[in-house]
Amino acid sequence: MSDAFGILSYGAYLPRRRLQRKTIAAANGWFNPGLRSLAKGERAMANWDEDTVTMAVEAARNCLAGMPPAAIGQLMLASTTHPYDDRQNAGIVATALHLGSALRVLDVTGSLRAGTSALATALAVGGNALVAAGEHRLAKAASPQEMHYGDGAAAVLVGRGEPIARLVAAHSETVDFVHQYRGHDRAHDYAWEERWIRDEGYMKIVPAALGALFAASGTTASSVTHFCMPCTLPRVAAGLAKRVGLPETALRDNLAAACGDSGVAHPLLMLAHALEDAKPGDRVLVAAFGQGCDALLFEVTEAIRKLPPRAGVKGALARRKEETNYERFLAFNDHITLERGMRAETDLGTPLSTLYRNRDMITGLVGGRCRDCGTLQFPRGRYCVNPKCNALDSQDDQPFSDLGAKVMSYTADVLTYSPDPPAYYGMIQFDDGGRMMADFADVDEGKVEVGMPMRMMFRIKENDAARGFVRYFWKATPAANS
């Protein structure tokens, strides 16, 4: 086992629904005919029960899957769309991932390069750190942003061991160039003219950062094999490559056509995508733009051949379902006022003390495993549920989040209130024992069957709109869709 330092693993997550851009154009072209020229491809669209935190948890699980357990000392969650202003969002992710309490966590925000800044900081600080970035981006109806943006998350594990990529050089430029911004308490971004952003922003600030990176590290632009430049303005990335002297072949697909621009998460998503394609010796350059520029240059190592297989970005892109209902997109993002019915008025409150006592169970899906009889059970009771055992206080912690399960019974319910009716739920039986009545996520209508394999996903259970509290829990999703 080597003791080198660098990137140990990566992961990605995209919401399954892909809103077709021609659907947006069909809905809003009457108002903004210019949208029709953007009506190509699709954008990832968070389900009603997904946000930055849930997507970051899934990306992090993807990143950690199959990895030897490492003592992670630091977790950063980068986003401009954290669900909480005052509650450590990264702390929710840490609890969902069972990372323990001996942990330094940071929510990193304030700029579209928060993801790369978090990664650069983790690499500079040293130690085992998980850097997650997620974004649930809102945009006004009929805006170009609505077309360009997408929702998603990525995660990178850095630390000592056998890195799949080591950092060659990093450089950051900070310039208060405001190409877009979102003031306090505003839901949407305010953006300036694209031509100015291109000419005065990207084409000047990025070359300065990359020039400084190459100069300081004694490397050359021509040595770069993968250039990750998340910019959706036409021809800007190619223009930058040319100006800086990067090989034309190094320019990577910015994934805009397949999933949209996932903001803070996007540079890390592109990095993960590059690592999926990279061979040992390849050099991956990641740049991120936003009131300056972060630039990180990595060299891929032999260890990439031994990285445990994962869905990664390609798996996330392949896990897709076309969405052609624009009103559903508006409703999920609370952009139209639906008559949700009286059942939606039920106020369950938010008992913080109850949640705290049971945070491992609720946020971490931790149940019990009986030391006396071996029975797995969720939730964990004081007495073992096995009628032949019933031992008192005999259970150790047993996380269920990574255990496979199968559908035992199910329904599609149109009576109960759901933001996306019908509500699918049912009893699932875990393959190793234990069962629960679970909500289902990302189910295709008419495709659920008894015996169908399921896996657990971290999701929003309910939004307590009266108090601005998001309740998270785990749901079962068809394993074939994940």
Judged by CB under 8 A, does residue 47 bind another protein? no
How far apart, in whole angstroms, are the C-alpha atoms of residue 183 and residue 282? 40
Judged by CB under 8 A, does residue 458 bind another protein? no
Point out which span in 21-29, 35-43, 305-313, 373-381 binds another protein (CB under 8 A): 373-381
Selected binder of another protein within 180, 358, 401, 481 (CB under 8 A)? 358
How far apart, in whole angstroms, are the C-alpha atoms of residue 457 and residue 319? 14
Per the CB < 8 A criterion, the answer to whether 45 and 18 are in contact is: yes
Point out which span in 67-75, 177-185, 279-287, 339-347 binds another protein (CB under 8 A): 339-347
The pair phi, psi for residue 357, each rounded to 5°, is -60, -30
Selected binder of another protein within 425, 455, 460, 482 (CB under 8 A)? 425
How far apart, in whole angstroms, are the C-alpha atoms of residue 99 and residue 102? 8
152-161 vs 129-135, strand pairing mode: antiparallel
Judged by CB under 8 A, does residue 379 bind another protein? yes
- The minimum distance between CB 71 and another protein, in angstroms, equals 29
Q: On the CB side of 249, how many CA atoms lie within 13 Å of its CA?
A: 6
If the CB atoms of residues 218 and 446 are measured against another protein, the closer one turns out to be 446
How far apart, in whole angstroms, are the C-alpha atoms of residue 286 and residue 57? 23
Task: List, in order, residues 6 or more apart from 472 with CB less than 8 Å away.
Answer: 53, 54, 92, 96, 362, 363, 458, 459, 460, 461
How far apart, in whole angstroms, are the C-alpha atoms of residue 371 and residue 376? 10
If the CB atoms of residues 34 and 349 are measured against another protein, the closer one turns out to be 349
Selected binder of another protein within 5, 399, 471, 481 (CB under 8 A)? 471
Point out which span in 6-14, 218-226, 317-325, 427-435 binds another protein (CB under 8 A): 427-435
Judged by CB under 8 A, does residue 426 bind another protein? yes
How far apart, in whole angstroms, are the C-alpha atoms of residue 176 and residue 291? 5
The candidate with the shortest Cα–Cα distance to 136, out of 231, 15, 232, is: 15
- The minimum distance between CB 455 and another protein, in angstroms, equals 16
292-300 vs 190-191, strand pairing mode: unpaired
- The minimum distance between CB 437 and another protein, in angstroms, equals 5
- The minimum distance between CB 427 and another protein, in angstroms, equals 6
Judged by CB under 8 A, does residue 315 bind another protein? no
Selected binder of another protein within 351, 374, 404, 468 (CB under 8 A)? 351
Selected binder of another protein within 71, 336, 392, 450 (CB under 8 A)? 450
- By rule CB under 8 A, what string of x and - marks binding of each residue 385-424 to another protein? xxx--------------------xxxxxxxxxxx---xx-
Selected binder of another protein within 331, 391, 427, 479 (CB under 8 A)? 427
Selected binder of another protein within 361, 405, 454, 460 (CB under 8 A)? 361
- The minimum distance between CB 53 and another protein, in angstroms, equals 16
Point out which span in 120-128, 203-211, 246-254, 374-382 binds another protein (CB under 8 A): 374-382
Judged by CB under 8 A, does residue 362 bind another protein? yes
Judged by CB under 8 A, does residue 463 bind another protein? no
Q: Which residues bind another protein (CB under 8 A)?
A: 341-343, 346, 348-349, 351, 354-355, 358, 361-362, 375, 377-379, 381, 385-387, 408-418, 422-423, 425-427, 429, 433-439, 450-451, 461, 471, 473
